[in-house]
Amino acid sequence: MEAPAAPRNPADPGGVTAEIVVNSPEQMKELGRRLAKLLRAGDLVMLTGELGAGKTTLTRGLGEGLGVRGAVTSPTFVIARVHPSLAGGPPLVHVDAYRLGGGLDEMEDLDLDVSLSDSVIVVEWGEGKVEELTDDRLHLLIHRAVGDTTDEVRHVAVTGVGERWGSVDLGVLSA
């Protein structure tokens, strides 16, 4: 992983952004493990990226870093999975909002607002659907080459939104 943190995301004047280049699935998991060190109960993490970008791989690393029970797999067909902590930390709630089209109305059926205060919630495909859950969130936008390619390189933009992330050094993610 490489690249220093950028001071601001021009698209979100209230956010702080780090740009990270990831060269392999193992590095994506390592990014998740590093990110886990910054997370605490009440944090919402939104993951955006094409199919195969590495959202679930990153979440596996988060699960390892948080010390949760159970294999972290894509929750596509169950919508959400809860992974309790084995280390006394917050549980990981892993949500795949890909098939949910109704925005926050459909998300409310999952009771994420109830889980948010005592869990780390990771939502794949959550952009435009979960922002209203909290003013503070971390948004990871994962870009990869598309088409007929074996390119493993991913460009990850990590943006912290809200007061919670204003003083967090996201640059540690690219170390």
Angle at 142 between CA 144 and CA 115, to 5 degrees: 150
Mean pLDDT, residues 57-85: 87
- What's the pLDDT score for residue 100? 64
pLDDT, one tens digit per residue, over 120-174 is 999 998 888 888 888 999 999 999 987 666 788 999 999 999 999 999 999 999 8
Band (pLDDT 50/70/90 cuts) for residue 18 is: very high
- What's the pLDDT score for residue 80? 80
- What's the pLDDT score for residue 11? 42
**Does pLDDT of 6 surpass 60?**
no
pTM: 0.83
- What's the pLDDT score for residue 32? 97
pLDDT, one tens digit per residue, over 73-132 is 876 666 788 889 999 999 999 988 876 665 555 555 555 555 678 999 999 988 888 888
- What's the pLDDT score for residue 150? 72
Sheet hosting strand 15-22, strand order edge to edge: 5-6, 15-22, 154-161, 137-144, 44-49, 120-124, 92-96, 80-83
